[in-house]
Amino acid sequence: MDRFFDWVERVLEPWADRLSRNPYMAVLQNSFFRLLPFMLTIAVLAAAQELLLNPYGPLLGPDGLGLGSVLTNGLQGEEYRSSALVETLERYRQVVQIGFGFIGLLMTMSLARPLAELWGGDPGIATFCALAGHSILTASPGGTASSVSIGSFWTAALSAAVAARVFSWLSQRHSLHWGENALLSPRVEKYIRLFPSVLLTMLLFFLMAALHREAEPFLDGLLSSFTPEQSANTLRLALFFQFFKSVFWWFGLHGDMFMAPLIRTVYNPAQMANQAGAGEYLFTSVFFNASTVHIWGLAIAILVFARNEDRRSVVKFCLPTLVFNLQEVIVFGLPVMLNPILLLPYLLAPLANVLTGWLAISAGIVPIFKFDLPWMVPPILCGTLSTGSFMGGVLQAIWLILDILIYAPFVIVANMVKSRPGEKGDDA
């Protein structure tokens, strides 16, 4: 064990310490924490949109609790669909959906400005470039901006980082400055000369958008052989999916975004088939959303076993976001990202959830995840509503206990690494 501690302190600790002092990491963390109240607001609205405003959802819909029929005095079928209640709820849903688009823009602005300052560019112009770039990347082929939800934080981060870095670098190349004119006021000339830099930055975003649209059908084509009928009950593919999703997250990349082709071709169709009664697929998009309860396992393990008050304080600060399964804050706040001690449990815990979920559903102990829910529905409630049974909530509770047991030894090891017997040091 001492040899392991020596290796962690000699190799892994210095690496983690350098990462924690990285200025780019600090900028990203500060941007996320600055937007925390907005993230919570959007999560609450998204959950309300699905649970309270969706006339066909798990609470109001005929395939759920059927409260919509109760509120319309027993209307069913076409009469229910054409009722005033459904019309009103759909109108409110559209209003809420419009609000989702602003959170990505807020993230873009929050991140672009400090990055531009870090790289020596004009913060205001860089922010405008990032906003324009975000609009280009999220625009649909028809030319209208697609709705943006919490998942688009990573598009926002990409837009901000690319715009700030590229514009700052170009604007410092004097050969790209627009020609000077003594007749212009210095304030006007200051911005006019940046025209070539802005133009080239925008052209880069157009190129990125074009490449993305070309690559997306190609990736979907590669995965077209993975149909729900062949793959949605395959444990091997589910473990593959969950493993690489966690790997991407650990590197600070949006795992769901990188695994989106598999979600679109296998797990979303499987979820829709379950809800429509056209199939009984074990692994669905909501199943994997429910399995993210492992983040709660990490949080509880730190609160119970960690001796470092700073980490405990970060976890306490992140608890409101965990209610809505927002793991971004804790991933960057602790950080989990690129944390060598947390790598192994961060990979093992979700894999253990997939395996135990497969066993429980295959044995008929827990029903399949039938109802489609937004991923921000709180744990336990998510399992109960999506399966239509309290056993779904029990499964998430079992996952949580299992995850705490997986994370706890590594949290304890972190304590021992920082405070070995006979040595003086900070607790982990």
CA distance to 170, 240, 415, 428, per residue, from 308 (Å): 44, 34, 8, 5
Same domain membership, residue 289 and residue 235? yes
Residue 182 in domain: yes
Residue 132 predicted with pLDDT over 60: yes
The whole-angstrom separation of Cα 222 and Cα 216 is: 10
Residue 375: the pLDDT is 76
- 291 residue type, one letter: S
Mean pLDDT to the nearest integer, 223-242: 76
Same domain membership, residue 233 and residue 175? no
Same domain membership, residue 394 and residue 307? yes
Same domain membership, residue 254 and residue 129? no
- pLDDT (tens digit, 9 = 90+) per residue, 358-378? 999 999 999 999 888 877 788
The answer to whether 367 and 314 have CB atoms below 8 angstroms apart is no
CB atoms under 10 Å from CB of 79, counted, come to 12
Residue 6 in domain: no
Domain boundary among the residues 187, 214, 241 is at 214
Residue 325 in domain: yes
Residue 157 predicted with pLDDT over 60: yes
What is this structure's pTM?
A: 0.68
Same domain membership, residue 153 and residue 236? no
The answer to whether 428 and 418 have CB atoms below 8 angstroms apart is yes
Question: For the chain, how far is it from start to end, CA to CA, in angstroms?
Answer: 17
Same domain membership, residue 138 and residue 60? yes
Residue 412 in domain: yes
The whole-angstrom separation of Cα 17 and Cα 295 is: 23
Same domain membership, residue 155 and residue 231? no
The whole-angstrom separation of Cα 305 and Cα 428 is: 10
Domain boundary among the residues 188, 214, 240 is at 214
Residue 8 in domain: no
What is the number of domains present in the chain? 2
Same domain membership, residue 405 and residue 283? yes
Domain boundary among the residues 214, 245, 264 is at 214
Same domain membership, residue 267 and residue 166? no
Higher pLDDT, 411 or 251: 411
Same domain membership, residue 231 and residue 131? no
Residue 247 in domain: yes
Q: How many residues does the chain have?
A: 428
- pLDDT (tens digit, 9 = 90+) per residue, 88-110? 888 888 777 766 667 778 888 88
Same domain membership, residue 270 and residue 178? no
Determine what percent of the chain is predicted with pLDDT higher than 70.
Answer: 80
Same domain membership, residue 136 and residue 31? yes
In sequence order, what are the beta bridge partners of 145? Answer: 139
Residue 423: the pLDDT is 40
CA distance to 196, 281, 305, 369, 377, per residue, from 276 (Å): 53, 12, 44, 12, 21
Residue 2 in domain: no
Structure tokens at 52: 């309270």
Residue spans of beta strands (DSSP E) within 69-190: none
- Kindly report each contact of residues 61-66 with a partner whose C-beta sits within 8 Å and lies 24 or more positions away, as own/partner: 63/275, 63/277, 63/370, 63/371, 64/371, 64/385, 64/388
- pLDDT (tens digit, 9 = 90+) per residue, 282-335? 999 999 999 989 999 999 999 999 888 888 888 888 888 788 787 777 877 777
- Structural domain boundaries enclosing 198: 20-214
Q: If 0-12 CB within 10 Å is exposed, 13-18 middle and 19+ buried, where does residue 276 land?
A: exposed
Residue 202 predicted with pLDDT over 50: yes
